[in-house]
Every structure is written in structure tokens, then in C-alpha cells.
Chain A
Amino acid sequence: MSQRTFLVLAILVGAAGFLMPQAITNPYYFYAGYIVLQYVVIATGWNILGGYAGYINFGTSAFFGAGVYAAAFLFKAFEAPIIVQIIGAGLTGVFLGVAMGYLTLRIQGVYFSIATLALVVVLETLVHNTDYLGGAAGLSTLAPPPSSWFRGQTQFVFCVMLVLAVIAVAIARWIEMSWMGRSFRAIRASEPAAEACGVPTLRMKLLACAISGGTIAVAGAPYPTYSSHVEPASAFSLLIALNALAMPLIGGTRSWLGPVVGAFLLGGAQQIATVTISSEVNILVIGLLLIAFVATAPEGLLGLGTAVRQRLRAQNRQAEKTA
């Protein structure tokens, strides 16, 4: 796909979203679609660090929750409009990512992953102990009604999230094609080799942490408006960390399309499944899928597709030779 086709497609998708409130009347579709799009942003953000640079973040829910609470804080303190909330959340995520990366990435990738695991517990403790943010009971964040064009709050946040998702995917695609993606791939393949070729590895890793952390936190920013109530249990939910990891791994981590495919498949399936099965079974199924993919298809569905195509081509060639 050329740069121009992608841009036109991205703008079309965004514009289609703004027409949807006129076409579809049932707000449930926007309610469920918001979650799927939220996961598109989260999975895409995760993949910038996890897929391209190969550093696994287990604490996605910490970054997401930080975004949620940054937005909720800005709303409570200054009644800030949603765009300010999104920028504030993004900056919080960037700061968290750089801080975590600076402390742990100088040694070994494993430590980064372990530290992110613990970060969730710490941020949740912090919010629990902060009365201003509502503690364990949570905080009510009733946003003012949006423009009547959207016909409701749910439709409005859906469109906001759609724009965020399009921007996130565009950024991820741009990174993949540019010098940044090349250095990230070099780091993923071999850090000493990358360093020897003149890639400033630590700086690039911190850059990846910053972009990834910022993107994930941005995904949390519209949440207070979406649910009009935030609480630590849902903002720091394990399901977010798990999905952030599972979606790119199932879709494929090497390209921007992988997390999008994974988010639509897994996120969509969960939206359908939550109506019928319990959340425990939901987590169990994702956990088992995760193990199965890591063990048998580490390149995800897109990787499987490429492998199948290559095999078919090889078979065709074989057939031509014998014929």
C-alpha cells in the first residue's frame, strides 16, 4: 500500500465515523465499538515497543490507568475539554515510559518487563491512597453533553476514539517505514550489532518507550467521558494488560496491521462473548490463546499467512518444474 492510498483510506475511515451517528441509531454499537477501537490504540501503542523494538511491556494497564486518571484529574481540577485531557494523558504516559525505561533498560530487557509488572500494583496503590482521585470508590466524571450532531455522549467518544485510532495506526505505520523502524528492528535483532552499526540503542529504546507509553495513555484519556465514572479496579484492569499483549501476538508483531487485526478479532470476539460467557472464562481463553500462539506461531496470523503463501509459491514452482 502506497503512502497516498493509506492516507486517503485513513481519512475516509475517520470521516465515515463522523457520519455513523446519523446512519446508525442504536447506541449499543458505539458502546461496543469504542472498546474495540480503544484496543486498536492500545495494541498499536504496545507494538511500537514490544513488536518493533522487542521489549515486552506487561504493565500496559499501568500506562492506560495513568492516562485515565490524568484525564480525570484534569477534568475534576480545571473542567478541561477532552482535547486537553488527551494531551495531558499522553504527556503522563510519555513521562512514565521514559522514567521506567531509563531506570531499567540500561541493563537487560527482562528487568524492564519485570518492573512493568510491578508498576501496575504501585500505581493502583497510589490511586487508592489519593483522596482527591476518589480512592478505591472512584470518581464521578460527568462530562458536559457534546454537540447535538453526535446524538449522544457514547457516539461522541466513539468518534474521538476513532480519530485517535487512525492517528495511532498512522504513526505506527510511519515509524515502521522510517529510520526509526529500522533502528528498532536492528535493536530487536541484536543490540550489540545495532550499537556497532551506529544506532544509539539506549536513546532509541527510550524513544520507543516514550511513544509507546504515550499512545497507551492516550487510549485511556477518553475513558472518563465514556463511562462517566472511573475507579482503580477498571482503570488498572488486568484484562487490558493481557489484551495488549495478546492482540499483537495473535495478529502479528512485525507490521502495523498485526495489532489492528488482533484487536478487531479478539476485541470483537470479547464484545460478543461478554454477553454470553463469564469474564473468568474470557481471561482463561485469551491466556490459552496467548500460550498457543507464543508456542506455535510466534509471528502471529499475518506471519502464518506469509508462511502459507511462501509454501504455496514453492509448491507451484515445484509443480512447474515437474511439468
Chain B
Amino acid sequence: MLYLDFATNALVSGVALGSIYALLALGLAITFGLLHIPNVAHPAIVVTGAYAAAAVSARGFDPLLAALVLTIPFYVIGLAFYEFYARTFELRGRGDTLQSLTLFFGVALVIEIALVIAFGADLRSVSVPYVGRSLSVGFVTLPYRFLVPALVTPVVVLLLWLYLTRTHAGLALRAVAHDERALSISGINPTATKRHAFGLATALAVLAGAALIITGPVDPFTDRTLMGRAFAVVVLAGLGSIPGTLVAAIVIGVAESFVTTFVNPSWAPGVAFAILLATLGLRPSGLFGAAR
């Protein structure tokens, strides 16, 4: 019976973990999944968001509420970031994916080091009343530090999905990667749409950062372990599928949680990578993506 006990607990915490991973990957699902811009700096922006949320919540606010306010400055940062990227590459007609990858890689490094220089290299965490306590139902125990951020994701996913499928701006956003010329013929500026999408992704990063720092302490190099996970989620989901992101993230979260419980916690970072490689090798279109 102990075995079943462990398995149920692993499943529950895996679902919660996956839900948090989905939040991490949502911004990437927009930039990489919809716009095909390989923003490898996204995890670094998430970590920046975590630091920002921690800094605001140190004045006595809940980190998630702080993050909600911070989405506005982060949206603006995202706009500026896209403007820089577009001026460097896209407007000059040099839409070379591999060069832009290098650019984002450089940006990720600069962010990491800037955080080290500004805040030091040690772990940083937030103190909220619900951290340290757990919800117990029967033999299943789930710490609130996982449960609270995990509950945020479904709401965000639902809102984002409604936005992308029900509103005019959302439809334009989905159309821009598909056919830029057709979009400009119908009177919408594709560059402005992409800029807006980038802003949205960056705003989501600060929410993900707040969720991340509630779950556990963060240091400036946390983004390296998140990188594999975030891309694994987006690729497994299939590029462009927003609800698929949640499902794929939960699959990866549960897999990691089982490895942690039954094998060894130190192997957990390899799980997402194995899933990423397996997806690319066996089913490159992902679970919910269209064939490419």
C-alpha cells in the first residue's frame, strides 16, 4: 500500500509541478510556437521576473499580486526588446534564425550576469504566509507553495486561449506568423502585431517568475535548467497550441515527479531533455501541433 501511496503523491505533485512549467513555457509558446522566434532568453526573463516579484513582495505584498502589477512594465520591456530585435534582423531582411538565436543567447547571458552583479549569486526566496504549510487530503499531501502557483496557470491558459481565438487582436496574432503579407493586405501592421505578441510573452514571464519563486528559491543561473524544460513543453505540445502547452507540461511534470520519487532526485533535470529528444525523433509535430 505504501507504493500506491507514493505513486498518488508523486502524481499529484507532478500535476502541480507541470502546471507551473506550463506557466514558464507560455511565453515561449507565443514567441517560438506562434511567431517562430527562438527566444532562448525567455527563461532568463522569467528569472528576472522572479527577482522583480521578490523585490516588490519584500515590501509586504503577495508575490503573485506584485507580478500582476509588474506585467505592465514587463510588457513595455518586451515591446522594446522586440523593437531592438526587429531593427537588427527582420527589417533589414536578414531573418536568419540562427543569427537571432545567437543574439538571444547573448542576451540571456547578459541578463544572468547583470543579476549576479546586481543581487549577488546566492539563492533568493520570498516569505509568504502559505509557504511551509501543506494541504492534506487522506494520504495525499501537497505543499501550498506548489498548489497556489499551480492554480494560476489554468486561469492564465484559459484567458490566453480566449484572447487568441475570440478577439480580433488575438486572431491577428495567430495569423502573423502564418502569412505576414496577407495580414498587411487586410490592413493590420504585422510588425506592430509581433511587437505586441512579444510584450505579451514578456508580461507572462513575470507571472511565471512569481510562481517560480513561490515554489522554491531562485538564483541567477536557474534559467539554464528551465531552458530544457520550457522548450520540451513547447515542442511536446506542438508549436502554436496553447491548451496543448498545459497538457504537455503536466506530462513532463508527472514524469519528473515519478523519477524524483522512485529513482533519484538528481536525475530529474535529464527527464525533460529525454522527452524533448524523443519528441523530436519520433513525433516532431508534437502532441497537438499541425504537421510541419
Contact = CB atoms under 8 A, between A and B. Distances in A.
Nearest to B272: A118
Given A55-B98, A245-B105, A280 B116 contact: yes
A168 B274 CA distance: 32
Interface in A224-240: 238
B110 A114 contact: no
Given A104-B277, A245-B102, A121 B235 contact: no
Contact of B103 (A111, A286, A294): A294
A110 B38 contact: yes
A104 B97 CA distance: 16
A8 interface: no
A133 interface: no
B121 to A, nearest CB: 8
Given A110-B101, A280-B117, A288-B110, A118 B276 contact: yes
B109 A118 contact: no
A1 interface: no
Contact of B227 (A118, A281, A283): A118
A298 B103 CA distance: 11
B284 to A, nearest CB: 5
B171 interface: no
A125 B225 CA distance: 11
A107 B36 CA distance: 14
A110 B28 CA distance: 14
A56 interface: yes
Contact of A125 (B99, B235, B269): B269
Q: Is the interface of A mostly helix, strand, loop or mixed?
A: helix
A129 B292 contact: no
**Which residue, A106, A118, A290, A291, has most C-beta atoms of chain B within 10 A?**
A118
Interface string B25-41: 00000000000001010
B88 interface: yes
B277 A126 contact: no
A129 B227 contact: no
A119 B269 CA distance: 11
Contact of A291 (B110, B114, B272, B277): B110
B272 A242 contact: no
Tell me which of A54, A55, A111, A286 has the highest count of chain B C-beta atoms within 10 A of its own C-beta. Answer: A111
A283 B109 contact: yes
B113 A280 contact: yes
A109 interface: yes
A58 B97 contact: no
Interface residues of A, number: 41
Interface SS of chain B: helix
Interface string B258-284: 000000101101101110110011001
Contacts of B102: 56, 245, 249, 290, 294
A114 B40 contact: yes
A117 B266 contact: no
B45 to A, nearest CB: 15
B280 A284 contact: no
Contacts of A238: 109, 224
A280 B88 CA distance: 26
B228 interface: yes
Contact of B280 (A54, A56, A107): A107
A309 B181 CA distance: 38
B231 interface: yes
A288 to B, nearest CB: 6
B160 interface: no
A295 B90 CA distance: 11
B97 A110 contact: yes
A287 interface: yes
Interface in B88-130: 88, 94, 97-99, 101-103, 105-107, 109-110, 113-114, 116-117
Nearest to A245: B102
A294 B277 contact: no
Contacts of A245: 102, 105
A47 interface: no
A113 interface: yes
A128 interface: yes
Given A103-B280, A115-B277, A117-B228, A242 B103 contact: no
A118 B231 contact: yes
A24 interface: no
Contacts of B88: 294-295
A284 B114 CA distance: 8
Contacts of A295: 88, 103
Contacts of A129: 264, 266-267
A105 B102 CA distance: 18
9 contacts: A114-B276, A115-B280, A118-B272, A118-B273, A118-B276, A121-B228, A280-B116, A288-B106, A290-B109
Interface of A: 54-56, 58, 103-104, 106-111, 113-115, 117-122, 125-126, 128-129, 238, 242, 245, 249, 280-281, 283-284, 286-288, 290-291, 294-295, 298
